[in-house]
Amino acid sequence: MNWLDICALEEINALGSRIIKGPKGDIAIFRTSDDQVFALDDRCPHKGGPLSQGLIYGRRVACPLHNWQIDLESGAAQAPDVGCAHHHPTRVESGRVQLALREAG
Ligand code: FES
């Protein structure tokens, strides 16, 4: 996998997010309360809401527009809602957040 160096882990607030520009639009990188990092395209699978502005709890983010619950790891909407935000692999190496871009489809 081709890992891109994004930033230091401390540059993303716990329960916060950071946006980077991806080749196909913004990508939101989320940090959970236990310092796990996940990345999703910053578009809700419902109507494109900015997931980066949603509320993070556990391993989910609540979309700020209509409150769909999106799994941070898979991007899947929680039932009864159906849809999936595109996700990208992430890791933290020596305190640095790294991301591997994953093509859609
Ligand atoms: S756009 Fe995200 S819940 Fe509607």
In a domain, 105, yes or no: no
Gap between the Cα atoms of 103 and 98, Å rounded:
16
Question: Confidence band (pLDDT; 50, 70, 90) for 93?
Answer: very high
Which residue range forms the structural domain that includes residue 64? 3-100
- Most informative mutation of 63, 71, 82 for ligand 1 (most atoms within 8 A of CB): 63
pLDDT digits (tens, 9 = 90+) for 47-61: 999 999 999 999 999
In a domain, 32, yes or no: yes
CB 49 near ligand 1, within 6 Å: yes
| pLDDT at 105 (0 to 100) | 55
- Half-sphere exposure of 38 toward its Cβ, with a 13 Å CA cutoff? 27
Q: Domains in the chain: how many in total?
A: 1
- pTM here? 0.95
pLDDT digits (tens, 9 = 90+) for 8-55: 999 999 999 999 999 989 999 999 999 999 999 999 999 999 999 999
Q: Any idea which residue has 């989910």 for tokens?
A: 60
In a domain, 48, yes or no: yes
Q: Please report the atom of ligand 1 found closest to the CA of residue 47.
A: 1
CATH number at residue 61: 2.102.10.10
